[in-house]
Amino acid sequence: MKIVVLDGYTTNPGDLSWQSLRKLGDLTVYERSSEESILERSRDADVLFTNKSLISGDTLRCTSRLKYIGVLATGYNNIDIQTARKLKIPVCNVLGYGNMSVSQMVMAHILNYTQRVAEHSNGVHSGDWGRAQDFCYWKYPLIELNGLTMGIIGLGDIGKTTAKLAQAFGMKVIACVRNRNKIPPEGVKWLDLDKLLTESDFISLHCPLTSETKHIINEITLKRMKATAFLVNTGRGPLIDEQALANALNENRLGGAGIDVLSEEPPQNLSPLYNAKNCYITPHIAWATLASRKRLIQMAVGNLESFLRGELKNCVYT
Domain shared by 256 and 304, yes or no: no
- Check 236, 242, 293, 295 and give the catalytic one: 236
Same domain as 7, residue 32? yes
- Residue 41: what pLDDT? 97
Considering the domain architecture, whether residues 138 and 268 belong to the same structural domain is answered as yes
- Distance of alpha carbon 205 from alpha carbon 192, whole angstroms: 14
Q: Is the same domain home to 116 and 172? A: yes
Kindly report the CATH number assigned to the domain that includes residue 53: 3.40.50.720
Q: pLDDT digits over 115-165, tens only?
A: 999 999 999 999 999 999 999 999 999 999 999 999 999 999 999 999 999
- Residue 316 falls within a domain, yes or no? no
Per the CB < 8 A criterion, the answer to whether 157 and 203 are in contact is no
Q: Is the pLDDT of residue 169 over 80?
A: yes
Nearest-10 crossing angle of helices 117-125, 99-115: 50
- Indicate whether 235 and 266 sit together in one domain: yes
Assess whether 143 and 172 both reside in one domain.
yes
Share of the chain above pLDDT 70, in %: 100
pLDDT at 180 over 90: no
In a domain, 234, yes or no: yes
The string of DSSP codes covering 131-200 is T-SSS---SS-----TT-EEEEE--SHHHHHHHHHHHHTT-EEEEE-S-TTSPPPTTEEE--HHHHHHH-
Are 233 and 239 contacting, i.e. CB atoms less than 8 angstroms apart?
A: yes
* Confidence at residue 227, expressed as pLDDT on a 0 to 100 scale: 98
Give the CA count within 13 Å in the CB-facing half-sphere of 249. Answer: 22
Are 112 and 81 found together in one domain?
Answer: no
- What would the pLDDT profile of 94-112 be if each residue is shown by its tens digit? 999 999 999 999 999 999 9
78: pLDDT strictly greater than 80: yes
DSSP state of 68: E
Give the up-direction half-sphere exposure of residue 11: CA atoms within 13 A in the CB hemisphere.
Answer: 28
| pLDDT tens digit sequence for 285-313 | 999 999 999 999 999 999 999 999 999 99
Instruction: Give the pLDDT of residue 54.
Output: 96
- Using the predicted structure, report yes or no on whether residue 182 has a pLDDT greater than 90: no
The model's confidence at residue 318, banded by pLDDT at 50, 70 and 90, is: confident
Helix (H) or strand (E) holding 4: strand 2-5
Say whether both 107 and 166 belong to one domain. Answer: yes
Any domain includes 136:
yes
| DSSP state at residue 219 | H
Sign of the dihedral defined by the CA atoms of residues 110, 114, 120, 121, in that order: negative
Question: Which pLDDT score is estimated for 181?
Answer: 78
Examine the pLDDT at 197 and tell me if it is beyond 80. Answer: yes
Does 127 share its domain with 261?
yes
Q: Is residue 318 part of a domain?
A: no
pLDDT at 236: 94
For residue 317, being part of any structural domain is answered with no
Q: Does the structure show a pLDDT above 90 at 178? A: no
Closest CA to 158 of 110, 207, 219: 207
Query: Per residue in 225-271, pLDDT tens?
Result: 999 999 999 999 999 999 999 999 999 999 999 999 999 999 988 89
- Other Cβ atoms less than 10 A from the Cβ of 183: the count is 7
Query: What pLDDT does residue 5 have?
Result: 98
Could you tell me if 129 and 231 lie in one domain?
yes
Nearest 5°: the CA angle 123, 127, 129 is 70
Catalytic residue among 22, 85, 215, 284: 284
Helix, strand, or coil (residue 91): strand
Is there a domain that residue 218 lies in?
yes
Clarify whether residues 68 and 148 are in a common domain: no
Active site residue 180: no
Domain count, the chain: 2
**Strands of 279-281's sheet in order across:** 188-190, 172-176, 149-153, 202-205, 230-233, 256-259, 279-281
The range of the structural domain enclosing residue 295 comes to 2-97+290-308
Q: CA-to-CA distance for 211 and 21, rounded, in angstroms?
A: 36
Mean model confidence pLDDT for the chain: 96
Is there a catalytic annotation at residue 242? no
Q: Is 63 inside any structural domain? A: yes
Contacts of 260 (CB under 8 A, 6+ apart): 105, 109, 233, 234, 281, 282, 283, 284, 285, 286
Helices (H) and strands (E) in the chain, counts: 11, 12
**68 and 107 inside one domain:** no
Residue 313 domain flag: no
Active-site position among 40, 251, 265, 311: 265
pLDDT for res 179: 82
Q: Measured between alpha carbons, how far is residue 308 from residues 67, 68, 301, 302 in Å?
A: 10, 10, 11, 10
Cα dist. 55→12, 40, 177 in Å? Answer: 20, 12, 32
Task: Select from 185, 157, 156 the least CA-distant residue to 295.
Answer: 157
Spatial distance between the Cα atoms of 40 and 74, rounded to a whole number of angstroms: 25
Residue 65 appears among annotated catalytic residues:
no
Which of 123-127, 206-210, 279-283, 284-288 shows the lowest mean pLDDT across its residues?
Answer: 206-210
